[in-house]
Amino acid sequence: MKKILILTVLIITNCALFSQVAPTKYYVQFTDKSDSPYSIDNPSQYLSQKAIDKRIKFNIPIEENDLPVNPSYIQAVKDIGVIILNPTKWLNGTTIQTNDTSKINEINLLPFVEKVLKSASKIKNDNLTIKKSSKPFFEAESYSPFIPSKINTEKNALYLSYGASYNQIHMLNGDALHELGYLGDGITIAILDAGFNHVNTMAAFDYLWLNDQIKGTKDFVLGGEDVFNYHNHGTNVLSTMGAFLPGELIGTAFNADYWLIRSEDGGSEYIIEEYNWVSAAEFVDSIGVDIINSSLGYTDFDDPAQDHTYQDMNGNTTPISRGADIAVTKGILVCNSAGNSGNTSWHYIGAPADGFNVLTIGAVNSSGIYANFSSTGPTYDGRLKPNVVAQGEGTVLASSGGGIFTGNGTSFSSPIIAGMTACLMQAYPDFSNYEIMNAIELASNMYEEPDSLYGYGIPDYFKALQYLSIDEKENPVDNYIKAFPNPFIDELEIDVFLHDNQNIKIELFDICGKLIIDKTKKSNKIGCTSFHITNLENLSSGLYFIKIYSNKNTASVKIIKE
């Protein structure tokens, strides 16, 4: 069964794929990178300046696994008479294809070859059917391409017409970041997927094309750059981040830049797709991408001999999980869907969602309740997964026929998080991918009591923004205190963001200086400590003051009672 984490509630339409007989494919593992013409001291041979600048900025060393595979090894394998597909420098090998098994015996005899593994068999790719909603969730009465100029983020606040997509963004308090002008500007997201059918013609993506935000495409399945004629899955994924259809669907990061990468063959499932993924991740690393969204997962294959077991979900075994963790060490934040197996006998996350430093995303419904299809943790070695959750049931997506529809799957909760994370990165570009990920987890609603269904829960991206804004030396009040709603009616939430554990005292005064409420709490974690105050409905309307005392600071906030 395909493990693309594809939507499930939908009508059948045909998505054209090439019908072809695929030669048998293999992975060749090399022993070393001896006598390489590439040097750690000259990274400009194999990394873009943007990638080099990122490594300098975050003190990421250039290592041996950054060096491309030795080209003389590749040439020697090619000279035997096989076709070279995708080398992988991080794993130090290459995928190949051939119909002649005697060639494999010859390759195994090369002194620098450790082993050769079969990675795909001879199969026929039949036309694949994709399911879509028989009746779109919402359909515009009249449809015409919307052609805007790029949104000006110089303004202090933005007010966007989210339409039906409001809930999936507001659930994360993402609209608060948007109002501050954080829309993903300057952040590059690579989407590794099965194809992006119609992205080059859909009005939902006019905004991206007109503003030169689609930076490039690459196909690691068949080669070349055409990714627009294979599958709708990547199209749906992109729409949660990059679509701009005011009044219908607003993506979480419609001002970000995008690379559209095809690593998954939608017509079959073989382990070669994991190697494709790693080669694709290496490519996007070399061009300096900031975030990878991967709504893909692997557990079982068309060849049962390649199947993974739960014991393999330990972060160290599968090629794709090892590659994903290496990508994180290069400064990329990797968002990956948890999987859609929560209500099956295999209910665990797949690969690379088991990666140690992969931000694994589960799914909830529109009310924030666990979606029963969302794959669960823990990893085999006992680590918490998923990390966080977002709306993956009834997610609003762009339709290639115009308007919008809804779909289910962690395929869609993951890019919603990836897009919001781009907005957070835009706000604080000097924080590393590890620090950004940590802030997201700290700002989630179940951080104190995580579990295998929700992980740390639903992130509040405004809280994450506040957490990252803390200056340990100054702690300005606007950065480390938030009181809401403002105006309030009968209750208040007061969040205090600190870098260390200490006693916090809050006091509420009326305009005449009368003390109304006095509460003290010891912060029990680094990050956000919340005070929830109720039974305020009998207070008179007007202006009030909140005073906050910590070990190092005293501050006050004005608030209004309606």
**Per-residue pLDDT, 498:** 64
**Two structure tokens written together for 323:** 């590659």
pLDDT of residue 308: 94
Check residues 527 and 355 and name the one with the higher pLDDT. Answer: 355
> Quick one: 406 and 482 in the same domain?
no
CATH number assigned to the domain comprising residue 436: 3.40.50.200
Domain for residue 455, yes or no?
A: yes
Look at 10 and 188; give whichever has higher pLDDT.
188
Do residue 340 and residue 374 come from a single domain?
yes
523 lies in the same domain as 433: no
**Mean pLDDT, range 256-265, rounded to an integer:** 97
Residue of 370, 366, 408, 373 lying closest to 389 (CA atoms): 370
Which CATH number fits the domain that encloses residue 64? Answer: 3.30.70.80
Q: Model pTM greater than 0.85?
A: no
User: For residues 120 and 471, what is the distance between their CA atoms, to the nearest angstrom?
Assistant: 53
CA distances (Å), origin 416, targets 337, 348, 389, 409: 11, 21, 10, 12
Q: Which of 272-286, 389-403, 527-541 has the highest mean pLDDT?
A: 272-286
Answer with the residue of higher pLDDT: 494 or 380: 380
pLDDT of residue 121: 60
Query: Cα–Cα distance between 269 and 264 in angstroms, integer?
Result: 8
pLDDT of residue 155: 41
Q: Tell me if 146 is assigned to some domain.
A: no
What is the pLDDT averaged over residues 462-470? 83
Range with lowest mean pLDDT among 108-122, 240-254, 301-315: 108-122
Res. 254: pLDDT tops 70: yes
Strands 21-22 and 123-124, by their bridges, are antiparallel
For residue 528, the model assigns a pLDDT of 66
293, 440: one domain: yes
CA-nearest of 210, 240, 174, 190 to 423 is 174
Share of the chain above pLDDT 70, in %: 85
Same domain, 253 and 391: yes
Query: What is the pLDDT averaged over residues 220-234?
Result: 94
Could you read off the pLDDT of 21-58 as tens digits, one per residue?
446 999 999 999 999 999 999 999 999 999 999 999 99
| 374: in domain | yes
pLDDT at residue number 502: 72
Q: Is the pLDDT of residue 496 over 80?
A: no
* 239-252 pLDDT tens trace: 999 999 999 999 99
Averaged confidence pLDDT in the chain: 86
How do beta strands 359-364 and 388-391 pair?
parallel
Residue 152: what pLDDT?
A: 55
Is residue 11 predicted with pLDDT exceeding 90?
A: no
Based on the fold, state whether residues 326 and 338 are members of the same structural domain: yes
Q: For the purposes of burial, counting CB atoms within 10 Å of the CB of 526, is it exposed (0-12), middle (13-18) or buried (19 or more)?
A: middle
pLDDT tens for 187-211 read 999 999 999 999 999 999 999 999 9
In three-state secondary structure terms, 329 is: helix
Domain that residue 266 falls in:
164-468
Choose one of 124, 155, 188: the last residue of a domain: 124
The pLDDT score that the predictor gives to residue 159 is 66
Neighbours of 219 (CB within 10 A): 20
| DSSP-assigned states of every residue in 523-534 | --SSEEEEEEE-
**pLDDT for res 4:** 47
Q: State how many domains the chain has.
A: 3
Q: Which of 412, 436, 468 is the last residue of a domain?
A: 468
- Per-residue pLDDT, averaged over 510-526, amounts to 76
Over residues 403-426, the mean pLDDT reads: 96
Q: Could you tell me if 217 and 313 lie in one domain?
A: yes
Residue ranges of E strands in 295-383: 333-337, 359-364
- More confident site: 511 or 177: 177
Is 252 among the domain residues? Answer: yes
On the question of pLDDT at 379 being above 70, the answer is yes
Q: How confident is the model at residue 289 (pLDDT cuts 50, 70, 90)?
A: very high
At residue 562, the pLDDT reads 83
Same domain flag for 410 and 550? no
Residue 430 lies in a domain: yes
pLDDT tens, residue by residue, 136-181: 222 222 223 334 455 555 444 456 899 999 999 999 999 999 999 9
What was the pLDDT predicted at 404? 93
**113, 233: one domain:** no
Q: Does any domain span residue 5?
A: no
E strands, 220-338, are: 244-245, 249-250, 257-262, 291-294, 333-337
Q: How confident is the model at residue 135 (pLDDT cuts 50, 70, 90)?
A: very low
**What pLDDT is attached to residue 110?**
97
Q: What is the CA radius of gyration of the chain?
A: 25
Q: Both 455 and 485 in a single domain?
A: no
DSSP 8-state secondary structure symbol assigned to residue 511: T
Pick from 65-69, 91-95, 381-385, 401-405: least confident? 401-405
Confidence of residue 523 (pLDDT cuts 50, 70, 90): low
Q: Does 370 lie in the same domain as 294?
A: yes
Evaluate if residue 61 carries a pLDDT over 50. yes
Q: Is the pLDDT of residue 415 over 90?
A: yes
Nearest of 161, 166, 205, 139 to residue 394 by alpha carbon: 166
Same domain (yes/no): 495, 392: no
Domain assignment present for residue 487? The answer is yes
Q: Please say which residue of 468, 494, 513 terminates a domain.
A: 468
Task: Specify the pLDDT at position 514.
Answer: 84
Structure tokens at 94: 């290459």
39 assigned to some structural domain: yes
Q: Tell me the CATH number at 531.
A: 2.60.40.1930
